[in-house]
Chain A
Amino acid sequence: MTKKQFLSRLDSALKSLPADERQDILQDYREHFDIGLEKGNTEEEIAASLGSPTQIAKELLAAYHLEKVETKTSTGNILRAMWAVVGLGFLNLVFVLGPFIALTGVMVAGWISGIALVLSPVIVMADAIAHPETFQSFFLFISITLCGLGFLVTVGMYIATKAVARGFVRYLKFNVKIVKGGYKYD
């Protein structure tokens, strides 16, 4: 691979990054080539020892998205960071996607139960209007208790979701650092 090929491959693999960030990265590798050429190496030799530009790009993308999710924990940012980490290698598909699906399931279930409990008086009312003959005020009291419980569950879920999101981001970082490097050299 020549210097030009290496840089253009890296550039196109990084096209989801902002232009200035990308230019900055390319400049580092351009400098590396220039100094290497000065020392009498060929472009091919330098490119070969640098390794695959697409693997380098994957590493940089994962770092970028993880940093972004740290400054703003939105659902979109978490998803982008997760895909970037999954992209580092096949193992991450298991180590990242698995826990993510499990956690999402638990969170969704919690939210649905909370909201259903909050809405239970409405359901009792609707039932009372539809079948006034079977209505007992006892149902209403129970549902009001459940509604209160539902509020607690919902607030709890809100706190839990934030904590889990933070924890998951930390896990992603840990994953990038230890579980799978993303580099295949030897």
Chain B
Amino acid sequence: MNVQFKKGVLELCVLALLNKQDRYGYELVKKITDQIVISEGSVYPILRRLTREEYSTTYLQESNEGPSRKYYRLTNKGKDYLQQLIAEWREFSRGVDQLIKEGEICD
């Protein structure tokens, strides 16, 4: 799939994953790459931006298996932003679906 396109929705994916529970970076990356092919390194700049824009906060937590992990938690501002992005995404994908359907009828 188109690179630019994927990058735009990556933010939405990260926020959606954080909506349910706090997660650490590696976990987020793996969850996303399970579904979408992306360069894993690009998730961290997004996490930094979301934190800087106060859509998420971070905290360190010890892990049983090794080094402590940086967890990300969605703020209320982040939750509002996620709802906005979801609404935009739904509208956009409905539009694309419609156009695809119209294309098929022509065949």
Interface size class on chain A is 20 to 34
- Chain B residues with CB under 8 Å of A49's CB are 33, 39-40
Interface string of A152-183 (1 = CB under 8 A from B): 00000000000000000000000001111101
Is the CB–CB distance between B44 and A178 below 8 Å? no
Chain A residues 50 to 74 lying within 8 A of chain B, measured CB to CB, are 50-53, 55-56, 59-60, 63, 67
Number of B interface residues, CB 8 Å?
27
Q: Which of A56, A177, A179 contacts B41 (CB 8 A)?
A: A56
Binds B, one of A26-34, A103-111, A127-135, A137-145: A26-34
Is B25 a contact of A31 with CB atoms below 8 Å?
yes
Cβ-closest chain A residue relative to B66? A38
Say if the beta carbon of B48 comes within 8 Å of chain A: yes
Chain B min CB distance to A76 (Å): 21
Greatest chain A CB density within 10 A among B7, B47, B67 is at B7
Tell me the A residues contacting B by CB distance below 8 Å: 25, 27-29, 31-32, 34-36, 38, 49-53, 55-56, 59-60, 63, 67, 177-181, 183-186
Residue numbers of B with Cβ under 8 A of A are 3-4, 6-8, 24-26, 29, 33, 37-42, 44-45, 47-49, 52, 65-67, 69-70
